[in-house]
Amino acid sequence: MAAAASPLSPFASVWFDCDSTLTAIEGVDELVRWSDPQARAEVARMTELAMAGELPLADVYDRRLRRLAPRREHVDRIGELYVERLVPDAAATVAALRFLGKRVGVLSGGLLPPVQRVAAALGIADNDVQAVAIAFAPDGAYAGFDRHSPLARNHGKVEILRALPASARPLAFVGDGMTDAETRGTADRFIGFGGVVVREPVRALADAYVTDPSIAGVLPPLLTAGEQARLRAEPRFALLLDRSAARTRHG
């Protein structure tokens, strides 16, 4: 993990990406299991180029969904997979942040129903979850997505963070891809998460970078010394924080 000092003032809110951050999979890559081999290769390549910042997200988003045309039952299954593949310590890390009185939310370029499923599993309120809405025909066939969503294009997460009320600041953002790294400067601290996939361009931009598989590694650069002391005094969080501190020193 890249070294980063503890913040001097507490963050009022902490926002997470979903795919390859809270969950160890990329939802759109999982959707390809219902597609032909050529579509799988095309979509995987488009996703990687978008996450690396080499293709505009808006172009990739439409092309991927038109190519995959996911049905309702496929999207529902992605939600189940998201929860099955939560990264280590996801629930405990969110619970620790909420114990400290922080607002915790999810901003994702993924599809809204599966992202809501993850948030519910982590105890995050629906009104603190934003992702891209998808529509289906009465028979469950794909009928399009919300083309007006800022999360389907680059800098969309920046737009949403800027629109948050003053009570949400100072704020931090945690994510694995370039659309997450775009929040640096708008977020008071951007923490790159490489516990699932290490992306060097993201590491280069991050205020701190975590490579341990556990999302608990983000706690030391998110919490003031006083907040860390509060967690250590709470038996259910003490071990979590001690593990994350050890990873920071030796990871």
Catalytic residue among 19, 176, 188, 207: 19
CA nearest to 104, candidates 90, 91, 94, 92: 94
Look up 59 and say whether it is catalytic: no
Catalytic residue among 17, 89, 176, 180: 17
CA nearest to 146, candidates 109, 180, 105, 183: 109
Six token digits for residue 185: 């400067």
Look up 176 and say whether it is catalytic: no
Number of Cβ within a 10 Å radius of residue 170: 13
Residue 58: CA count within 13 A, CB half-sphere: 8
Beta strands in the chain (DSSP E): 13-16, 103-111, 129-132, 134-136, 142-145, 171-175, 189-193, 208-210
Q: Which residues are catalytic?
A: 17, 19
